[in-house]
Structure 1
Amino acid sequence: MIITKDLHELPKQHVRFIDTRFDLQNPTWGEQAYQQDHVQGAIYWHLEDHLSDMSRSEGRHPVPSKQRMTKLIQASGLTYEDELVIYDQGNAPFAARAAVLLLWAGFTNVSIAREGYGRLKEVFPLEGGTAWYPSTNQTLQFHDGLLADQQDVKNHIAQNGMLIDARSTDRYRGVTEPIDAIAGHIPTAANIDWEQLKSDRGLLKGTEAEALFRHLPEEKEIMTYCGSGVTASPLTIALLESGRENVRLYAGSYSDWIQTNEIETSK
């Protein structure tokens, strides 16, 4: 599985672009940037309006329900036959978040333009405004094994599965916590900071990140999490690309876990 691609590796025909540029500190920025200019024909998916269901309580960025995801796909005019290319501003987690949800929704022709919009706009024609497509009636075959909920995590821990925290080391250890009410990590979790995937060419591909994963046991199922299921998405994608098949994203992540469960610290 190769999802994260360089410019020359992107598909050339039947391509639908999805713009996911976003700023967690300024949630209106991405859509404003899209309206100003984007790859011609690209639709825009907002982290909180489209790639999350903020009415749910499972953490800070709960994933959409299957029904809501189906409506998004159909309203976006997408089908399983489309070659999907997702981009954000580069070295960001938002395209990966969309990719995880699309894989969950049964799409197989999914690529992340790892160099981001800055590189794409040098090559592809641009336009402003909002791209529109007629809706489709695509039904979705969900890959339920890709996303995990809180009970899945508990079962995973009980079965001695591998749990990976994608946040910074200081947040993992409980030294600092700038967002959530309680500092620390889910018991038994190891730490791989997702920012180690950043490079001067954009997020590392799975094969390039193998050094980060070398110590992980091949035989164990791996479950990833972060604060709210966003920054763990690039780590999830890289693990899948590296050849590990039993990988799941805890969608609610730490902000969901701390609502009712104990944590650990390692200060």
Structure 2
Amino acid sequence: MTNIFVTANRMERTGRLIDTRFDMSNVESGRKMYEEGHIEGAIYWDLNTDLSDLSKQEGRHPLPEKEQLQALFEKHGLNYNDAIYIYDQGAAASATRAWWILHYAGFKHAYVVNGGFEALKEAGFPVTTEVPVFKESNLDIQWNDDILLKRQDIMHIIEGKRKATLIDARAPERYRGETEPFDKVAGHIPTAKNYDWEQLRNGSELVITSSLLKEVPKDEEVVVYCGSGVTATPVYTVLKEAGYQNIKIYMAGYSDWVHHHSVEKG
């Protein structure tokens, strides 16, 4: 197994901290929570403004360009040898989105804090309103380009030119096309299986489930997507934690696909 998730009482106290608390229904609330009190030493990364580039057209939460991400890392003084601990409100998807981005950028010592902010407080990590400032870093980034797939890659899977299992991480009713609160067309990408990411939630933690391991083959390429590249990341991260090696993500997701190709229902 790969160690991605850590509990608060097993963290290095000298590690870097990233607060990613966010609420899709109130996009200002995460930064407000940070300003009202965060773990001492934590910087804040906003899902919409730091971990996405909403000016782009690739789905609802487009991945920023490499240059933008590198500038984000360097501004906050991150280095490859840092132990980096990412937390959200617990069992959400913003910490795993940040972890995936760091993984994409080649950081090998990044972790998701299971239990989130409250678990860190309970473990005795001090809370402050002081915003830390770090000396900027200068990174030579080794990008893991092969873990990020584009729309054409997904089409190759559907056409049988590339052997892989597609996993749709959205709610079952959205997958079946019974309802669609965000995108113009309801349904799912052809050939995809469904595994609702919320099944991984156990209180304030994300956990490996036997149902996920049963659903997803370990001996072939697995490609995870969701609506806009946020809630696919808990599934990706849990599979990685479980030892799956050949996992990719279609970050642009269903919200990108429906503007270009047909879908299936049922």
TM-score, normalised via structure 1 length = 0.95
Deviation at residue 209 of structure 1 after TM alignment:
2.1
Amino acid paired to 2:101 = L
Amino acid paired to 1:88 = D
Report the count of equivalent residues.
262
Deviation at residue 146 of structure 1 after TM alignment:
1.5
Deviation at residue 8 of structure 1 after TM alignment:
2.4
Deviation at residue 119 of structure 1 after TM alignment:
1.3
The answer to whether residue 184 in structure 2 is matched with residue 181 in structure 1 is yes
Deviation at residue 153 of structure 1 after TM alignment:
1.2
Backbone CA RMSD of aligned residues: 1.1
Contact 1:210 1:242 in 2 (8 A): no
The answer to whether residue 129 in structure 2 is matched with residue 125 in structure 1 is no
Contact 2:87 2:114 in 1 (8 A): yes
Match of 1:191 in 2: 194
Match of 1:156 in 2: 157
Deviation at residue 188 of structure 1 after TM alignment:
0.2
Contact 1:161 1:222 in 2 (8 A): yes
Amino acid paired to 1:188 = T
What CA distance in whole angstroms lies between the structure 1 residues aligned with 2:121 and 2:154? Answer: 41
What CA distance in whole angstroms lies between the structure 2 residues aligned with 1:9 and 1:172? Answer: 37
Contact 1:83 1:109 in 2 (8 A): yes
What CA distance in whole angstroms lies between the structure 1 residues aligned with 2:204 and 2:185? Answer: 35
What CA distance in whole angstroms lies between the structure 2 residues aligned with 1:90 and 1:2? Answer: 18
Match of 2:170 in 1: 167
Deviation at residue 198 of structure 1 after TM alignment:
0.4
Contact 1:10 1:111 in 2 (8 A): no
Deviation at residue 93 of structure 1 after TM alignment:
0.3
What CA distance in whole angstroms lies between the structure 2 residues aligned with 1:185 and 1:11? Answer: 42
Deviation at residue 213 of structure 1 after TM alignment:
1.6
Amino acid paired to 2:139 = Q
Match of 2:77 in 1: 77
SS at match of 1:86: strand
SS at match of 2:254: helix
Match of 1:2 in 2: 3
Contact 1:53 1:61 in 2 (8 A): yes
Amino acid paired to 1:77 = G
What CA distance in whole angstroms lies between the structure 2 residues aligned with 1:253 and 1:51? Answer: 15
Contact 1:165 1:193 in 2 (8 A): yes
What CA distance in whole angstroms lies between the structure 2 residues aligned with 1:218 and 1:51? Answer: 29
What CA distance in whole angstroms lies between the structure 1 residues aligned with 2:241 and 2:91? Answer: 17
Match of 2:239 in 1: 239
What CA distance in whole angstroms lies between the structure 2 residues aligned with 1:156 and 1:10? Answer: 40
Amino acid paired to 2:196 = D
Fraction of identical pairs, as percent: 42
Match of 1:113 in 2: 113
Q: Which runs of 5+ in 2 are unaligned?
A: none
